[in-house]
Structure 1
Amino acid sequence: MDRTDRQIAQFVVMWAPYGWPPADRTWVEFGMSSERLHVRCIEIIGAARRTRELAPDERELVSQLVSIMMRRRIKGIFDRVA
């Protein structure tokens, strides 16, 4: 996990209690749209699953990111049904 991936994951985890990072903050921090941030998080998780060389703190961070992304997906499914 490189520094940028770690910063993105930490950013999303930090905003998790409020839902998802606001688009304006995402743009200021990383120069990407909220949709691109979502895709980037999926890419980070995929890359982490392919490597065995994550430090324990990185594994925990990825685990938190997986939980956030799962909640986001489930919320999206229920929002479409409602």
Structure 2
Amino acid sequence: MCGEIPEMPDLSGAIQVNFGAQRSLYQHWPDDELHVDEQARIAWFLRYNGAWRRLVAEQLRLVPRRVPLTEERAQLVAELRAEYASDDAPA
């Protein structure tokens, strides 16, 4: 399932999840993002699409994709949180 691509994502109940994306020193584009709304059972993946940068407004440079938060996806999110929890801790 590819997921639905809405015009604008509703991230009001979602929490961003670190999934280990590392920005390169030479990277001039925004990082992809994963947001999870556990109450609504929705996962959002926001992916940068440089080909669109001239075609859409600045606020749409990240293309949102919405997928249901299945039990399998919820388990993967839990594993990501466990794997990258130390990256979120203040230094």
Global fold match (TM > 0.5): no
How high is the TM-score relative to the length of structure 2? 0.34
- TM-score of the aligned structures, taking structure 1 as reference length: 0.37
Query: Which structure has the greater CA radius of gyration?
Result: 2
The answer to which structure has the higher helix fraction is 1
